[in-house]
Structure 1
Amino acid sequence: MAPARPVTVAGARDLALRVIVPPNTTGTRFGVSVVGPDGRRHPLGEVRLDGLPGTGNTTSYWAQEVRVPLRGAPDRVAAIELTPRTATGQAWLLDAWGWQPGTPRPGAANPARVDIGTLEVVEGDSGTRTYEIPVTVTGRAGGVLRLFLNDGQSWPITSWLVTVRPGQRSIRVPIEITGDTLWNYPERHALSAKAERGLVVGSFVGGIVTRNDDPVPTLTVESASVRVAEGETFTWRISASAYTERGISLGAWPLAPATGVELSTADVDPDWFAENAWGQPVEPVRPLSQTWLGVFGFIEPDATTIELTVPTSTDSLTEPDEIIELHFDQIPDEPSPGEVLTGVVTAN
């Protein structure tokens, strides 16, 4: 690690380093040396680190602070070097500084603060309008900020550095919104911020929410009640009254019928069940309403129809009629069939 120019450590007792080693590792050792402005190396000592506990479901690459005495080191440091002392292992040096006992000397640190707000706008039926995400700066100091913009459509997220001048009161982030007559879910241009130097961030996320002002398409089911024999597939055809800007997402969930025997996990195709029930197993056999099963579909922007299907399976048991009832999410201002999809597997 080499800063842009030598850094003073005069008066410091130790060199403090924040170092990351992989989780669940042990015994990573490395030597620490500093290099003076004259190019001479000064070994300071050796450090041993164990990784923090972690799994694939946790964020476990955390920095740990270690210190080595600055005995014999120059007053100004031009570089820090880590030398491996073990045959295997990894380590990342995050930062370092001169450390001494006690608390820092009080000082008037008044960094400027940046806050991101949220602006709600109406899409409109035509034309392009430019809006600005509200980003305010309070305080007199300057600094450097990194902004991240996600328009909800493209990947990766766009990021860039912004230099805030002393006394600056806002940061311009213009967004163009184009109107149309096609329905869509609310669109969001999400902006977030990270202080890089000389600033603090208060409200770190905001953006522009574009509210749809077009009529919500009506969804109808061709035949809400379907009867099939064992081994056949339930099929419900759903139609939308109009095209949309980016399509319509549908989700339906099994609820226990008011009367009759409910379809169970043993009565549907096992591979289909696992795929649509978030990997849940078929066994033990239980009613579908007691599982995580969901039946999903998507009507493409340039289409108006879709078929939702549930494949059934066969067995050699003598059974009565079995029923599945699928209920759609009902979210205000979003298209959804008003009917319940009912399927009956006829008795054998």
Structure 2
Amino acid sequence: MSFSAPRSDPLSLDAALAALRAAGEPTRLRILALLAEGELTVSDLTDILGQSQPRISRHLKLLVDAGLVERHREGAWAFFGLAEPPHGGSALRAALSILDASDPALVRDRQRLAEVRTARNEAAARYFSANATRWNEVRSLQVAEAAVERAILEAIGEGRIETALDLGTGTGRMLELLSPRVGRAVGIDSNREMLALARANLLRAGVSNAQVRQGDLFALPVPANSFDLVVVHQVLHFLDDGARAIREAARTLRPGGRLLIVDFAPHGIEALRETHAHRRLGFAPETIAAWLSSAGLDLVSQRSLPPPDQASDKLTVSLWLARDPRVVSDAFPPSSLEVA
């Protein structure tokens, strides 16, 4: 566990004292250390710390009031994360940076965090297995798929793409869609049933320039600086830590490479949590923009596709296109597309 300490505007004496008082309590300091790993809910923190929900909620309120933690609501759930500067900048992260990562309490907290995330991922995996054969039917919840696919092709443009990576490839539909425009493509998914379905679909469609592999989206089995285009299509809302997934996707981009994210805009359809294992009910433009910036990428464009006539039973889909700002040079030869 490590924490960077970015520069931020200095705090007034009163603000600094309020922040230090809020953080200066064992449980609240443990909460801050956990939130440095990613956004969590009250329920997550209750499970990890073994304390009652009212107690955790009181600690969070103090941290929010002190400006150290930010809260945002998604339907019936609320997510908490470390605040941005000034309060969440150098003062907070400098305090976290001096914590001993081998401290028994912090080690136990990280172990419980890993267990909570594993349980969430296993629930999502069970859902994927049960729904592999009707995955495209599930996507009918959104605006027409044809409109989304047109927007995807418009976003990436007509130029030739040498190498492409599709994260959470599912049925392999993105690989099929992109195949006429790419030299070689790789689809990564953690679920074997989905990969079997993707292989069958690609074979049926006659796609010969794409392959699929099993892998973890947080530790992709591909080298850095490998791909000209990475697509994350309808994946982030299943994940506990979307920002981490974006950072890992950014790692695989070649200088000047592009990352395309397609996901739902914020909505309030709570049933998707239980019936379709959605962890997040869509994303606000500023949330994805902040994650992209944190990953070192420049946002190029953002677009929303609302359903026709604002139909209440359909979801708005948003697209974000970002670019790696590094300059292409001879230091980065064409990728051999080796996949572990």
- TM-score class, shorter-chain normalisation, is under 0.3
More strand by share: 1
Larger radius of gyration between Structure 1 and Structure 2: 1
TM-score scaled by length of structure 1: 0.19
